[in-house]
């Protein structure tokens, strides 16, 4: 699953740690999501989108491989 977390963090000028604290996950979790090594739960996806003031679809995008 592709994401725009790094871009959205840059727009808000917040660190991975700051985002992690807002979403109540570890910084390592945010890093893994950004690097597309971990697919977060629906709750985490929704919280991240909310922090950025965006819809889920504006932050996360399904890829072809996600359907397999």
Looking up tokens 């950004």 gives 34
Q: Is 60 helix (H, G, I), strand (E, B) or coil?
A: strand
- pLDDT, position 16: 98
Domain around 14: 2-57
Residues pairing with 60 in the sheet: 3
CATH of the domain at 8: 1.10.260.40
Look up the pTM and report it: 0.93
For residue 46, give both structure tokens: 């929704």
- pLDDT, position 1: 94
- pLDDT, position 52: 98
- pLDDT, position 48: 98
**Residue 7 located in a structural domain:** yes
Distance (Å, rounded) from C-alpha 1 to C-alpha 15?
21
Number of domains within the chain: 1
pLDDT one-digit tens code per residue, 11-62: 999 999 999 999 999 999 999 999 999 999 999 999 999 999 999 999 999 9
**Residue 40 located in a structural domain:** yes
């Amino acid at each position: 699953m592709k994401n725009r977390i790094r871009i959205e963090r840059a727009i808000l000028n917040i660190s991975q740690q700051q985002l992690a604290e807002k979403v109540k996950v570890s910084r390592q979790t945010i890093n893994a999501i950004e690097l597309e090594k971990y697919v977060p739960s629906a709750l985490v996806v929704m919280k991240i989108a909310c922090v950025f003031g965006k819809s889920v679809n504006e932050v996360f995008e399904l890829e072809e491989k996600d359907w397999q």
